[in-house]
Structure 1
């Protein structure tokens, strides 16, 4: 259970963070915190945002705040949800809007592009694309804003395994097709 958290709550803590992934354990913590009279902010991760948590926590789960690294597909665009459902027969799942944006920025970058390794690698970072969730931003592994250099293949720009000076080490796609990629145009 969350004995340390309950002890901390009794010791003047103003917030409680549940960092586990089990909705059942989070519910046990919520109930124990409520029983201890804790009135501070309670936080959890997206792993806990499943039906089991409110069922098991009951009133003790009210007001908990959950952080998630993805966007709720239903809150992004009704058009996206309808198009996704029409194409796949189910509602979009977690990460669907972010996946759509990733494919969208690459598709936009490849429009009319001379398909050479250097052009393919550099183009997405400088492509204007609004995205469903937000405009994609490319960064290096250190978190610095990318200047269109490839860092995904090797972690170091221009040093792919077996690459020669001046190349990126990335292999270009043979031919791009938005239909083959399953990209749905939204107006």
Structure 2
């Protein structure tokens, strides 16, 4: 672990152990609720890749996976609200119960757009699973059926979450010092 990355962290919000417990809990809830369904986990890249990898191993029922990549941030810290699909799904969606897997739900703009887009492709159902929920940042009506934890309105990195493509590989989630991104 680079000393530079660690000195950019103001405080650790969630340790590796706390995240593992959250993922196990959410995986058990999903396994229970989707027991008799045709589950398709859709990871929204890149931020959710670490969560998705751990979550799919915590799910104890058959599930398929697929990936989407979107862009809505540019290099700033605020969302632009414009969603561009960089990689679409490979699978036809009819007959699937889709669970969108996100790292963080804040404004909700990207997930709202993606949910509408995927709904038009005829799945049985679509729900959202997010590791972190930042409800006070919500700008559109989006609710997650599965949430690891609610978090304060702070700029967090680690466990897949980045700033300018850095810090994703931290094993914990920490608050980034404002001097790094201001």
Shorter-chain TM range is under 0.3
Question: TM-score by structure 2 length?
Answer: 0.26
- The structure, 1 or 2, with the larger RCO (C-alpha pairs under 8 Å, 6+ apart) is 2
Higher share of residues assigned strand: 2
